[in-house]
Structure 1
């Protein structure tokens, strides 16, 4: 077996519904009836823990979306993670929290409690949210402007960190004949800012990690700046290696300019995988779930992305010619990704619909365990990633395939741990516990 590489891959798994493919829930053997059963999520986390993943990750949203189109949100993730913490031992636990809708005291208290419950395995992905439908569930007519949301997010993080730091690690005395805690080691925050007024201190003593691990998923200019200033892990979107390398280099540069160590921040692009013993079998898995997409709805969605009527497009023919990105007047990011998919993969219309239904603009790797591990290694060694945020298109199948087939390949290459050597999430990321 090759020697262990000094630099190791990081792997998180993003658990969502029946899987990240939009048609996953439609398959006859999908776990659609289990989405309200916490045991389903506990089993998934246990599979990921068997694969020695750094963490499981749950996104979150604040509106219901279209109830007919498939499962979007089901159980609230922080509540779920309290249960999953009791069903697992070592794997990290990460939830999205919206700085636009949460107050920092409320969030800091819940996250510190979960860090205690899990024995130091908690992380948080701070987002600003983006949809007006979410804002209207929180007393706002619409989302605040982009710049205001990110300014609030930065202040939110500062206040939360101040609250987590308001208890020293040795503040608890537990002296039954004297004092429970040393009040000189429990300090108020006394924050008065543009968005929040918080006295503190937190009413939860310092947790095992001190501060839960902070993740960020910024792609925009202010999002990248926020990640550079605060994040310990960054969830990225990259369709191919060149786009991953460009994002990686830019964010690492920003981290250094912020006076932080770029090597201490793990950048993890999203990754969709279809894996089987042969490439043909892997492609067949992908084709089977693609075939379950509702054609009319999927073509209508594609039409919104490319701003033209796609209803008459022949499914098994090449994608008709689209206007260059320079002439496109709609949202540019997804359109540019669609053009890259067409140029690189030359898909049929049906295949394009499937690609967009499973991860959208995220990387997709299809093939044998060796082929998928080889592509991951290339991204890792050529400046595209420090690891990946796995987005299984089908649950539990795609996660089980990855753990059983791909993880051993990565281990044989010396790229991934063969056992947990740390007990905290920050330890898995090879970072020191917050002082």
Structure 2
């Protein structure tokens, strides 16, 4: 079936590796790209490729108008840009949003004539707001938290990935050496936010790998956020720098997911927002974190962090044909279709790992739906489910977090997301 479906793609091979290219007057991979995904089985039906591209363009225009803001100039007089945290907190910016924004703008180069200028302004803003602990990383919130401003893993990982995209798009011979900046940030991520023994992504550079008395050893190298499991990113990091560390990180997150799924979500494949060691000592296996572990009562449930997990996992299936993550998405995506009777508007905004809906969360949001649409692309028998999900998300706007996640997934859904 997959072979018969390939006719509707313009086959643009994925680049392997990420060497620096000379600066060019325009983007090397302008939007739209129509990339071939080795692990794709279906695509959104009912629309032509041109219409899918137009949906992305329209969503991007709205996203840019709502969330991209000028942020003054640096000491050299070069413009800075930032992504607002939310419509309710327009004066606040978080590193997570900056990572999303830099990725989005790099992918939209060619459609947006100002993409490179904006990208450079976003990156310079990130550089101008370093973590108090490892200044090679970004402080997670601006204005800074008076109690201390440290890093968050996902923001810096997405910023690093965006720098690889920029190197592919524009080369590294201009005002910013994107490849050198990526190497510097990846070194910081590896040294300050990857567990030296666990090889798991840590929550940020504030985590002491062996734990500390100040946090009762609760946060350590075995207490990850599952939405930080980014196998496609880690594959690109490995290809770019040749560092075998990233092979170990991939192996570690696969072990963590296998443990959590086997022990706590064998029927659903759902992941908790956070995990911690199942025993009294640090180490594998992991279990879902307890309530109020870091953010709230649903830290051990499929909630507003783990909702990104299907997007991160299915990207590895689509771009690399990875069978481990395909099996994970097979279980999770079919559970989601069954749990809703095929109606995305019945998706709850959060679930316990056994698939029971969290009470008081009975409303629809694109945040949970758009990653599930990308997951459905990896399954040959879910065309109706994919189409329903796509209809529910492609022109619906909510707030910055939801819309940024949805826009990145629309890039995937339209075959306009590519690996650097």
> When you count strand as a share of all residues, which structure comes out higher?
1
TM-score (structure 1 length as normaliser): 0.30
TM-score (structure 2 length as normaliser): 0.31
Q: Is the radius of gyration larger for structure 1 or structure 2? A: 1
**Greater relative contact order (Cα < 8 A, sep 6+):** 1
